[in-house]
Structure 1
Amino acid sequence: MPSEVALLESRAMRDEHQGRVEVLDKVKALVTLPDGIHLRTEDVARYFEIHRDAVHSVVKRHRDELKANGLITLKGSELQRFHMAVLATWDESYPQAGAQLRLYTRRTVLNIAMLLRDSDIARCVRTYLLDAEEEGGRRQGYASLDRRVTKVEANLDTVGHALQELGPVINGISVRLDRLDRRLDATNQVVGAMSNRLCDLSDDMRRMERRMDSRMDDVAHQLRELQRGQRRKRR
């Protein structure tokens, strides 16, 4: 099972859990705006029981990742339309429209829960995610094992029949291997005899070389004696 630190450090691991938004309400009730979709920065801060500056800090460090998971910033006419359509129908008092409004979805909030280090609520969310993953992995593993055992049991008869049919084939292969072993032994004996013969030939060649060297020395000596005799005759 991945650790909480791995979840904090790895975006790829966070992406694997990004669809598990149901864990937010299991840890603590998440209060959205009247549209049932969006939250403001102060709503996110209230959920995690932290200061809104801490939320801004997470957004600043991971803006692209959070945008990919629903973070938007409304300005101008879009902001006015949102106020008219959503906030104006809200019984709770709300600040008047400013220059911009940052909105979060449940996916964004879950993303922040996997990034916040100094929030007990965020830690609970991460723990719930990891525990649920481990439990799901165990269930999946048990189910997979059950399927494999069932499959093996269902095929036992087929395996037994196949082994019976393979018996004569295996025996035939064993006989052929024995024959090959005998032929290999015979070949090894021939190769050994040839090796010994080559060694003998090598000894014979060395003896012939020594005899040739001795003979050449004798011929050279006779030539030198003949040359000396011819020089004495000229004198």
Structure 2
Amino acid sequence: MINETVLLESKSLRESVVERTEVLERVKVLSLLPDGVHVTTAMVAEYFGVRVKAIRSLVIDHRAELEASGYRVLAGTELSAFKALSGIESRTASLALYSRRAVLNVAMLLRDSETARQVRMYLLDMEYMVRSQPVDNSVHRLSQSIDELVDNRIDERIVHILGKTVVPMFNALIETSGEHRKELVALRADVQGVERRLRQHKARLRRMMSAV
């Protein structure tokens, strides 16, 4: 089993698991702002049981990485709009916001926090379980065959509708139309082109399936 401290040193490993935000709730409840999406610096500090200063220092050292994960600072009209939408009552001139991905990113960088350490352990446990499970290729092949069959049936149905319904309808309209005859002929040609390409696609699928 990989030691949880490797996440502190490996940016590529952090990037590979940064979407697994569900682990945050497994360790501890993460309180969110009224918008249900973001948290402030103070809320991040409370979650990890550290001082606000520790979080701010972390942002200074890893700002680019955290911004890639959803960290941002609002000010001016953008902040005013956010306050109005989220119901936040504050007179601060700027507001740092963290998405759940950014909070998880903090957990992978924060050294002096037991909560952060537990989050890292959960992350690596999940990654180990996923990688250690054998891949059932038969299921994949079955799924692929079903997808091809469905696509083939859909193509057949579309070709049938185009050939038996849409094209004859255009023929009838062209026969009785005067002013818009040219436009109708062009549309019929487009439909026939689609029908022709679908038939070619259907033939390719048959050749591929017979070669398997």
Q: TM-score, normalised by structure 2?
A: 0.62
Q: Which residue of 2 aligns with 1:30?
A: 30
User: For the residues of structure 2 that align with 1:73 and 1:80, how far apart are their CA atoms?
Assistant: 12
SS across alignment from 1:4: coil
Deviation at 1:4, TM superposition (A): 1.9
Query: How many correspondences in the alignment?
Result: 138
> Greater CA radius of gyration, 1 or 2?
1
Partner SS, residue 5 of structure 2 = helix
Structure whose residues are more often helix by fraction: 1
In structure 1, distance between residues paired with 2:27 and 2:47: 10
Partner of 1:18: 18
Q: Which residue of 1 aligns with 2:107?
A: 113
Q: Check the 8 A contact 1:83/1:97 in 2, yes or no.
A: no
Residue number in structure 1 paired with 2:98: 104
The aligned amino acid for 1:106 is R
Matched, 1:7 2:1: no
C-alpha separation in 1, matches of 2:36 and 2:131: 32
Whole-Å separation in 1 of the counterparts to 2:52 and 2:123: 24
| Residue number in structure 2 paired with 1:205 | none
Aligned twin of 2:122? 128
Segments of 5+ residues of structure 1 without an aligned counterpart are 89-93, 148-235
What is the TM-score of this pair, normalised by structure 1? 0.56
Percent identity over paired residues: 46
1:4 maps to a residue whose letter is: E
Q: Which amino acid aligns with 2:119?
A: V
> What does residue range 35-50 of structure 1 map to in structure 2 within 5 Å?
35-50=35-50
User: What 5-or-longer segments of structure 2 have no aligned partner?
Assistant: 139-212
CA RMSD of aligned residues (A): 1.5
What amino acid is aligned across from residue 59 of structure 1 in structure 2?
V
Deviations 1:106-146 (A, max 9, x none): 000000000000000000000001111112222x23x45x8
DSSP-derived class of the 2:96 partner? strand
Conserved in 2, the CA contact under 8 Å of 1:24 and 1:110?
A: yes
Give the structure 2 partner of residue 168 of structure 1. Answer: none
